[in-house]
Chain A
Amino acid sequence: DGGITQSPKYLFRKEGQNVTLSCEQNLNHDAMYWYRQDPGQGLRLIYYSQIVNDFQKGDIAEGYSVSREKKESFPLTVTSAQKNPTAFYLCASSIHLWTGELFFGEGSRLTVL
């Protein structure tokens, strides 16, 4: 079955540490996205990528970084510069940028201790 796989499902981090969240898709989609979800705030766009080796900042990119070296993969690094990193992170993809609907992974919950 095609889909999006995020790992790890749960992650704990000490303050000052960088962490990387994995996102892999086998849907052959060109576009991939990272969203942050906080209670009562809906989904906010962190970064997005239209094609390999191209990515753009979303609405809340500060303290985050991404790479897109392969079409299937779009990892997100939460750096120590992110002031409030505890959240639920969702990776998504669509066939092309801002086209059709978004397909989501199962999410990764990051907790900073």
Chain B
Amino acid sequence: AQSVTQLGSHVSVSEGALVLLRCNYSSSVPPYLFWYVQYPNQGLQLLLKYTSAATLVKGINGFEAEFKKSETSFHLTKPSAHMSDAAEYFCAVRNTGNQFYFGTGTSLTVIP
């Protein structure tokens, strides 16, 4: 069975500080991994995805994530937070031919 755990339902950072959102997955085979962002009352937008081509994945808006098989992690980072980064972030996992499983989300607050 697959599952996703996002540590920290709420994260606060100061504007300009490093953003680190944690995601750990369980999967019996190498998975496909995704990070989505959701602004209030809107749908989810893909930030980035890991499909086994490279362990460090760069996404939109300056975000990146690193796939670490030994740690079963896919943490999302951004070197310098911007006010516009305040949103809900979801990590998701999928194996070939199987459905997507989403984490419970992390709400990011950026403090001016």
Contacts and interface: CB of A to CB of B under 8 A. Distances in A.
Interface residues of A, number: 22
Nearest to A94: B100
12 contacts: A9-B41, A42-B102, A43-B44, A43-B102, A58-B99, A88-B41, A98-B98, A98-B100, A101-B46, A102-B34, A102-B44, A102-B100
Contacts of B92: 102
A64 interface: no
Contact of B94 (A42, A88, A98, A106): A98
B67 to A, nearest CB: 15
Given A103-B46, A104-B43, 19 more contacts: A4-B43, A9-B41, A40-B9, A40-B105, A41-B104, A42-B104, A42-B105, A43-B102, A45-B100, A48-B99, A88-B41, A98-B94, A98-B100, A101-B34, A102-B46, A102-B92, A102-B100, A104-B44, A107-B41
B90 interface: yes
Interface of A: 4, 6, 9, 40-43, 45, 48, 58, 88, 90, 92, 98, 101-107, 109
A104 B45 CA distance: 7
Interface string B20-45: 00000000000000101000011111
9 nearest CB pairs, A to B: A104-B43, A42-B102, A43-B102, A42-B104, A104-B44, A106-B43, A107-B43, A105-B43, A101-B46
